[in-house]
Amino acid sequence: MSEKDIKKEQENAELQDNTANTEETNGQEHAEETAVETGSETQAEAELAEMKDKYIRLMAEFENFRRRTNKERLDLLKTANEELMSDLLPVMDDMERAHQSMEATKEVDALLQGLELVFHKLKHVTQLKGLKPIEVKAGDAFDSDFHEGVTQIPAPSEDLKGKIVDVIEKGYTLNEKVIRFAKVIIGA
């Protein structure tokens, strides 16, 4: 072989070594990248699984909370009037005694006094619970927030036009909320 051929073979050998080294280096870098990607994918999957678990637990906790509050609300509605009814029992007892005494006695004054006492007791219990009558009298201005106009009649005087002429039924508020509007007649 000539010197030129030997030199070319050496250059080819060096070139092949460099190519092999480059491929080996690239292969190692690729393996490291794959390992890093696999590690980060595994970590991401673990985080996702943890988040899903937290989400499922939170949803279950919320569902339990919702069920519990619904049950408490239903229980509260069932027993909401218990205290009121307990306070009204003495008034009912008094009414029964008044009814019995009406059959036995013929004294009207005594019956009226007894009935007045029972009525006063009933008003007292309802006021303690927050029930208040809506004060309305003839000549007051009509207010749709508290009054219900049942009908209109010709006003007996000019100053009653558009105002309340008569009150048919009292209205009531319970803790500042209207539970029954006062039924009134309005002057036209």
User: What's the chain's average pLDDT?
Assistant: 81
Q: Which residue has the higher pLDDT, 138 or 53?
A: 53
Q: Which residue has the higher pLDDT, 163 or 30?
A: 163
**Residue 95 confidence (pLDDT):** 83
CA angle (183 as vertex; 178, 184 as ends), nearest 5:
125
DSSP secondary-structure letter at 160?
G
* pLDDT mean over 138-165: 83
**Residue 174 confidence (pLDDT):** 86
How many Cα neighbours within 13 Å face the side chain of 91? 16
Q: Which two tokens stand for residue 92?
A: 């009912």
**pLDDT category, 33, cuts 50, 70, 90?**
low
DSSP secondary-structure letter at 163?
B
61-116 pLDDT, tens digit per residue, is: 999 999 999 999 988 877 777 777 788 888 888 888 887 877 777 777 878 888 88
Distance between CA atoms of residues 167 and 182, nearest Å: 7
For 144, counting Cβ atoms within 10 Å of its Cβ (0-12 exposed, 13-18 middle, 19+ buried), the class is: exposed
**Residue 2 confidence (pLDDT):** 62
Distance between CA atoms of residues 44 and 42, nearest Å: 5
**Residue 105 confidence (pLDDT):** 76
**pTM score, whole prediction:** 0.53
User: Quick check: 184 pLDDT over 70?
Assistant: yes
Overall size of the chain counted in residues: 188
User: Quick check: 151 pLDDT over 60?
Assistant: yes
DSSP string, 45-87: HHHHHHHHHHHHHHHHHHHHHHHHHHHHHHHHHHHTTHHHHHH
126-136 pLDDT, tens digit per residue, is: 888 888 888 88
Instruction: Locate the DSSP E strands across the chain.
Output: 131-134, 147-153, 164-169, 171-174, 177-180, 182-187
User: Quick check: 37 pLDDT over 80?
Assistant: no
User: Quick check: 21 pLDDT over 60?
Assistant: no
Query: What are the beta bridge partners of residue 134?
Result: 171
